[in-house]
Amino acid sequence: MLPTTNPAPPFALTRASHVSLGVTDLEASRDFYRDVIGLVVTEETNDTVYFRGLEEAAHHSLVLQRSDEARAHRVGFRVRTDDDIVAAERYFSDAGIEHERVEKPYQGPTLQFTDAVGTHVELTSSMQLVERRMQNFDEFVAGAPQRIDHFQVVTHDVQTATDFWAGLGMRMAEFTAKDGTDELWGTWLEVKGNTHDLVFTNGRGPRLHHFAFTVPDATALLHAADVAGALGFGGEIDRGPGRHGISNALFLYLRDPDQHRIELFTTHYQFIDLEDQPIRWEISNPRRAQLWGLPASRRWFFEASEFPDEAVRDPLLQATPETLEEFLSIH
């Protein structure tokens, strides 16, 4: 069933903002994101490293936390003002949704909650400002990632996840559905005016499939791959370079030392006007997964990062043997 975007959401979400990951070898992971991906280290403490993209003025968009287990700790979104944090708190209380105000360094008022399918989320209304480095071209490394863009979450229940976030004001830009039905197998949701800020796909979940940063162009994408190869991470590309049918992204996916997955991509299109309709892709259409090239690896299809202490459930929609192959090429 297609979701209905709330035209008057309870609080104002503005964009995907940051992700925090538990990593088992902090120094190895720091080196990976700095040297293989090209993110800027904003700050480094004994047990935490804060990164941002080259153009970002916010203190961090990726936070690595020294941890015993490799887990996706939390995905973060921005709300417009401090008042939106208060409104969100009230809304979650009224709706009986688990949430908690927390203190987070370099962040304004911060609220954590768990969405309807178990995704661990954090909202904040501001961050400490730091210098944009987008014109420090001499410091560009590897893919020269500019900014965080979106998250993709594998969920056992795409419909419920989608309805939850549509209720918070997100619009669906594209979706996959079982042929001839409105049974949702994947949804691309946005709030910042282009293709997606949050993606849900059908599978064992909740698990964070990947977080994505934009890169300047196709050449940067390939340079990231070349640098990964040169630094011994060539085998950690588990998909791409390729072109998704859905969203039109030119993509490259890499696994970090704990097997968390980062996407580098280009080619968002604008999605602002209210008359724009979501693009529908039948599951039977192989072009949704990629317009050309080789299929993704099995690692890409089946591996993702769990959230701490969050049970992973089997998907409500089961791929039958004859659709498994199709399913494999959905996402």
Only segment of 68-76, 88-96, 262-270, 306-314 that touches a copy of itself (CB under 8 A): 262-270
Residue ranges in 109-148 that form contacts with a copy of itself under rule CB under 8 A: 126-127, 129, 132, 134-142, 146-147
Residue 17: CA atoms inside 13 Å, Cβ hemisphere, count?
23
Give me the least distance between CB of 80 and a copy of itself, in Å please. Answer: 6
> How far apart are the C-alpha atoms of 179 and 165, rounded to whole Å?
24
Q: Which helix (H) or strand (E) holds 190?
A: strand 184-190
Site membership for a copy of itself, residue 225 (CB under 8 A): yes
Q: Specify the residue, 71 or 288, whose C-beta has the smaller distance to a copy of itself.
A: 288
Q: Which helix (H) or strand (E) holds 62?
A: strand 62-66
Binding mask 187-206 for a copy of itself (x = CB under 8 A): -----xx-------------
> How far apart are the C-alpha atoms of 190 and 276, rounded to whole Å?
13
Given strand 110-114, what is the order of strands in its sheet?
40-44, 48-52, 62-66, 13-23, 71-79, 120-124, 110-114, 99-102
Q: Specify the residue, 263 or 306, whose C-beta has the smaller distance to a copy of itself.
A: 263
Q: Specify the residue, 211 or 307, whose C-beta has the smaller distance to a copy of itself.
A: 211
Q: Specify the residue, 293 or 308, whose C-beta has the smaller distance to a copy of itself.
A: 293
Site membership for a copy of itself, residue 329 (CB under 8 A): no
Structure tokens, 286:
């192989």
- Residue pair 264/213 in contact by the 8 Å Cβ criterion: yes
Give me the least distance between CB of 280 and a copy of itself, in Å please. Answer: 13
Site membership for a copy of itself, residue 257 (CB under 8 A): no
Cα three-residue angle 288-293-297, rounded to 5 degrees: 85
Site membership for a copy of itself, residue 320 (CB under 8 A): no
Site membership for a copy of itself, residue 76 (CB under 8 A): no
Task: Give CA separation, 92 vs 84, 111, 160, in Å.
Answer: 12, 10, 16
Q: Which helix (H) or strand (E) holds 202?
A: strand 198-202
Only segment of 42-50, 77-85, 256-264, 318-326 that touches a copy of itself (CB under 8 A): 77-85
- Residue pair 72/19 in contact by the 8 Å Cβ criterion: yes
Which of 94, 98, 273, 322 is the binder for a copy of itself (CB under 8 A)? Answer: 273
Give me the least distance between CB of 248 and a copy of itself, in Å please. Answer: 5
Q: Determine how many CB atoms are found less than 10 A away from the CB of residue 153.
A: 29
Residues making contact with a copy of itself (CB under 8 A): 14-15, 35, 55-58, 78, 80-81, 126-127, 129, 132, 134-142, 146-147, 192-193, 216-219, 222-223, 225-231, 233-235, 237-241, 243, 245, 248, 250, 266-267, 269-270, 272-277, 287, 290-294, 297
